[in-house]
Amino acid sequence: MLRRIICLLVLFCSIGFRASSQTQPVDSVLWMLNVMQSTYIIPNVTYSVASNYECKLDVYARRGQPGPVPTVVVIHGGGWVAGTKEGEVMNCLPYLQMGFAVVNVEYRLARVALAPAAVEDCRLALRWVFRNAKAYGFDPERIIVTGGSAGGHLALMTGMLDTTAGFEYPKEWDQSNPPMKVAAIVNWFGITDVKGILSGPDKQNYAASWIGSQPEPEKLAERVSPLTYVREGLPPILTIHGDNDQLVPYSHAVRLNKALEKARVPHELITIPGGRHGGFTPDQMKMIYASIRNFLKQAGVIRP
């Protein structure tokens, strides 16, 4: 797996940057060399065992830094029924370029455990990051969470919840540990209302598969919906969403934005005109990452 990650790094730099490197080939090569020299990878760290399943994460730690660095927790999508952390490697690279450490997380999918298992796992992964901050050079005051689609939903839930929500395991963990407070959340077209896609005109089969045949499914769907947890005092939240998304309605982003506005939470919504469920153009991605960088500067995560 480590070899695959290294190959993807090289592929990204030599092919993924090809359009821009036509004018700046030396810069692209230097960036590749800098990433390879300043980053070491610790793959497949087990952060939890549940349902006879080892939940693992990969760490992209920064070496040679004068102090702790900002850190992004990356959560893959796939409708809670598919996806892997390895599929998120490319989405980790822009943060490495910004000087972040990266923690790339996997969690129990629906075939292993139904809702709310994925939420519980991601909260455990975040706890692992805080507990191991000193060992890996993570700055506990500059930890952000990001993901796309179901990963966006889990990023929101992971960053918005506190211990009173009842998703922590074991329940007593917070008695001997400081509270986990992320500095910002970057949500790529995440589900904000699980109940809204469980049935009705916006029904998605992946949501039904994740909730399963558990008692009171609509009540459970509300419990695992980010909109349920909007309140004053949340970390800044940036949302990116195409207004022609065929899998997660754009209204999910709009409703979240309105709720955050009402709760006076710092927020921003980047709407991609005609954008579907990802697959944005290179120019759009360039604009998005410039906006993410600016948003994180305003949140105090990226410092001069």
- Which residue shows structure tokens 């102090």? 67
Can you give the pLDDT at residue 66?
86
Phi, psi of 215, rounded to the nearest 5 degrees: -60, 145
Phi, psi of 108, rounded to the nearest 5 degrees: -70, 125
pTM: 0.91
| Calpha distance 249→192 (Å, rounded) | 10
Burial of 216 (0-12, 13-18, 19+ CB in 10 A): exposed
pLDDT digits (tens, 9 = 90+) for 219-266: 999 999 999 999 999 999 999 999 999 999 999 999 999 999 999 999
Can you give the pLDDT at residue 20?
42
pLDDT digits (tens, 9 = 90+) for 45-55: 999 999 999 99
CA distances for 131 relative to 95, 171, 217, 259, angstroms: 21, 16, 34, 32
Burial of 133 (0-12, 13-18, 19+ CB in 10 A): middle
Structure tokens at 297: 């500067």
- Say which CATH topology domain 42-298 has: Rossmann fold (3.40.50)
| Calpha distance 210→224 (Å, rounded) | 11
- Which residue shows structure tokens 């954008």? 275
Q: DSSP string of 117-137?
A: HHHHHHHHHHHHHHHTHHHHT
| Calpha distance 35→230 (Å, rounded) | 37
Which is more confident, 180 or 183? 183
| Domain boundaries, given as residue ranges, for the chain | 42-298
Give one word for 44, left, alpha or beta, with left for phi > 0 and alpha for psi -120 to 50.
left
Q: SS3 for 14?
A: helix
Can you give the pLDDT at residue 52?
93
On whether the CB atoms of residues 192 and 207 are closer than 8 A, the answer is no
On whether the CB atoms of residues 75 and 63 are closer than 8 A, the answer is no
On whether the CB atoms of residues 223 and 254 are closer than 8 A, the answer is no
Which is more confident, 276 or 16? 276
| Calpha distance 176→73 (Å, rounded) | 23
| Calpha distance 286→283 (Å, rounded) | 5
* Lowest model confidence (mean pLDDT) among 62-66, 108-112, 211-215: 62-66
On whether the CB atoms of residues 57 and 106 are closer than 8 A, the answer is yes
Can you give the pLDDT at residue 29?
60
End-to-end CA distance of the chain: 35
| Close Cβ partners of 193 (under 8 Å, ≥ 6 residues apart) | 225, 226, 227, 252, 255
Can you give the pLDDT at residue 28?
59
| Calpha distance 206→150 (Å, rounded) | 10
Computed over every residue of the chain, the mean pLDDT equals 89
